[in-house]
Amino acid sequence: MSNTTDPQPASARPTILLWLALGVSLVAVAGSLYLSLGMNLKACPLCFYQRTFAMSLVGVLGLGLCAGADKGLRPGMLGLLALPLATGGLGVAAFHVSLEVSGKLECPAGVLGLGTGPQQSLAVFALIFALVIGDVLRGAKTWALPALGLGGLFALASCISNPPMPEARPYDKPPDVCRPPYRSTT
């Protein structure tokens, strides 16, 4: 019998990876809301999907870590619950940036003018994804592929259900919402 006062083995404790993922998710939500409320930008449907994935990550990780749900779970299981959300957000952000890079959309500058909002979202979701998958690989490897597949389906459903963008027209100001760029035919 052990004399230790810690009833939980070290392998069952949440890793710092999940706390970091929660912190980055909180920053993502705060940044997204600042773009709308502080900079008076309008979120397009793809932006809303990304915001929803970030808020969902805050809910799952925040409640899971703060309520101690991880204490009764095998290592990596709380990360596994967050993995489809991180994958879905990453997929939508990658699609959004691909539309930007291909010239189908022009999007407003992000926080502090460091890239556009979708580019910042892609960077944040890539970091969250890396943190969460790191946690999953420490104990829930068997379920990683199904969780990635579910997240991929979330991303695909979000991207294909996105309403069509409005027609491009001459604009008199820089973008305050993601929009199709106007190209003069003259």
Q: What is the pLDDT of residue 98?
A: 97
Instruction: Give 173 or 154, the one with higher predicted confidence.
Output: 154
pLDDT in tens, 94-125: 999 999 999 999 999 999 999 999 999 999 99
Q: What is the pLDDT of residue 74?
A: 76
Taking residues 14-20, report their average pLDDT: 87
Average pLDDT, the chain: 90
* Domain limits for position 123: 15-160
Q: What is the pLDDT of residue 75?
A: 76
- Taking Cα atoms as reference points, which of 161, 158, 89, 157 lies closest to residue 128? 89
Q: Is residue 150 part of a domain?
A: yes
Q: Is residue 178 part of a domain?
A: no
Q: What is the pLDDT of residue 46?
A: 96
Q: Is residue 80 part of a domain?
A: yes
pLDDT in tens, 19-78: 999 999 999 999 999 999 999 999 999 999 999 999 999 999 999 998 876 566 777 899
Model confidence at 178, pLDDT cuts 50, 70, 90, reads very high
C-alpha span between 126 and 3 (Å, rounded): 42
C-alpha span between 186 and 183 (Å, rounded): 9
Share of the chain above pLDDT 70, in %: 89
Phi, then psi, of 106 in degrees rounded to 5:
-120, 135
Q: In this structure, how many other beta carbons lie within 10 angstroms of the beta carbon of residue 186?
A: 2
Question: What are the start-end ranges of the E strands in the chain?
Answer: none
Q: Is residue 24 part of a domain?
A: yes
CB 5 within 8 A of CB 112: no
Asked if residue 5 has pLDDT above 60, the reply is no
C-alpha span between 49 and 119 (Å, rounded): 15
Q: Is residue 180 part of a domain?
A: no
Q: Is residue 49 part of a domain?
A: yes
Q: Is residue 7 part of a domain?
A: no
Asked if residue 131 has pLDDT above 80, the reply is yes
Asked if residue 16 has pLDDT above 80, the reply is yes
Q: What is the pLDDT of residue 133?
A: 96
Q: What is the pLDDT of residue 167?
A: 86
C-alpha span between 12 and 15 (Å, rounded): 9
CATH number at residue 116: 1.20.1550
Looking at the structure of the chain, the number of domains it has is 1
- DSSP conformation letters of 44-78: -HHHHHHHHHHHHHHHHHHHHHHTTGGGGS-TTHH
Model confidence at 155, pLDDT cuts 50, 70, 90, reads very high
